[in-house]
Chain A
Amino acid sequence: MAVEIRLPTILRQHAGGQAAVQANGGTLGEVFDDLVRQFPNLAGKIVTDDGSLHKFVNVYVNDDDVRYLDKLDTKVGGDDVVSILPAVAGG
């Protein structure tokens, strides 16, 4: 089932300039796999090469930070909206 993924401005250049895209999968990890199949330039930007969430992004399913859910194993369905935002920090 397709879910909507909302991309931050810095990643849109890798997805044809789109702010929101659709991808398929039953878990967040599967959805991101499908996203990278559609937009290969997103490889390594959200999920690292070793298969974990990139530490410089925060990912939400609806209102919930997936780090406090099941991370990439978080189940997603048709009405869910996945939001990706850069972690904004400094000194």
Chain B
Amino acid sequence: MLRLAPEVHRKVVGHCYDGLPDEACGLLAGPPGTGKASEVYLARNAAASARVYEVDGRDYLRADRDAEARGLEIMGVFHSHTHTEAYPSPTDVAQAPDPSWHYVVVSLKDLPVVRSFRIVDGNIAEEPVVLDGK
């Protein structure tokens, strides 16, 4: 299960809209081992594309340092699909680097849909996403 702080949820969906017509992306962070995203680092899409995304490397570096300084851990990534379902594409699966991460996909095809997946050895497993204000 992925638990999102409500503020994180708002920022994620807002950033995805702000990124249109391109895909948008960012990194999720939280206290280690909790499965809760209490912080989000909005990133630039270095690919600047409506079909693919690449988290800007320097944005990642900044996020990693800030998370480290605050005792948080980067625990996942989100990106938008502008015209398709909120489900990992073959490219997403092929490039998923970390089996411990939560892979959040936001579809803007219709009303925004936020779904989360674990991707291990090329296998996709969806997990519930809940808002957690505590």
Contacts and interface: CB of A to CB of B under 8 A. Distances in A.
A86 B61 contact: no
Given A58-B60, A63-B61, A91-B51, A86 B92 contact: no
Contacts of B85: none
B47 interface: yes
| Most chain A CB within a 10 A radius of its CB, from B58, B97, B98 | B97
A51 interface: no
A89 B47 contact: yes
A90 B57 contact: no
Interface string A48-89: 000000001010100101000000000000000001011111
Contacts, number: 66
B77 interface: yes
Interface string B94-117: 011111100000000000000000
A10 B52 CA distance: 23
B58 A90 contact: no
B91 interface: yes
A41 interface: no
20 contacts: A6-B64, A8-B98, A58-B57, A63-B58, A85-B61, A85-B64, A86-B97, A88-B25, A88-B27, A88-B60, A88-B77, A88-B95, A89-B47, A89-B54, A89-B95, A90-B52, A90-B79, A91-B89, A91-B91, A91-B92
